[in-house]
Structure 1
């Protein structure tokens, strides 16, 4: 579909989700970034982007994605998505503060 010029948020979200399932978080993040470029109000894409960036250990970028996703979800009234991303964001914030072994900041 990409080759035929049918690039859109849902297609990029689906590709990102599949790459994440296959364990390729970097490639997933690439597609998920494109998904939120196509539709900045796509809270599910922000959430999955946060996960892909977390899996890539890009902590600062993951935190920013979750924060943006929370804002989008709250604006759309999607309380469950906002709550879930809030939990993930707080985990990253706590980990960055405590700096456990193996957790590196990407800043």
Structure 2
């Protein structure tokens, strides 16, 4: 297994376990071409912090790579709402682009 993943997994359940840790672990799983595990981590990140725009965007990406287009579209839609509510205009724009691409490919 990837040593970075192993080191992050050791922190799960500890005092540092939170949205950022789950997001970081999800990114490592994406790099390791494990989109389903990445999606699980990103879901855990948004469960811990529903306003984490970057985690919503990454969740959509992971679900797309895992072949779960409907779930990816839902994640992007939720993420767009969160980003717009927070004033995170760039993240909202990016997710709208990814959502349109996903819809075109379907």
TM-score by length of 1: 0.86
Provide structure 2 residue ranges, at least 5 long, that are not aligned to the other structure: 1-10
1:49 alignment partner, one of 59, 66, 70: 59
2:81 counterpart of 1:65: no
CA distance in structure 1 between the partners assigned to 2:96 and 2:12 by the alignment? 33
CA distance in structure 2 between the partners assigned to 1:4 and 1:68 by the alignment? 28
2:17 alignment partner, one of 1, 7, 28: 7
Deviation at 1:3, TM superposition (A): 4.3
User: RMSD value over aligned CA atoms?
Assistant: 1.0
Provide structure 1 residue ranges, at least 5 long, that are not aligned to the other structure: 97-107
Aligned length: 96
Q: Which one has a larger percent helix, Structure 1 or Structure 2?
A: 2
Secondary structure (helix, strand or coil) at the match of 2:59 reads helix
Secondary structure (helix, strand or coil) at the match of 1:40 reads coil
Q: Which runs of 4+ in 1 moved over 4 A?
A: none
Deviation at 1:19, TM superposition (A): 0.4
TM-score by length of 2: 0.86
1:85 alignment partner, one of 79, 83, 95: 95
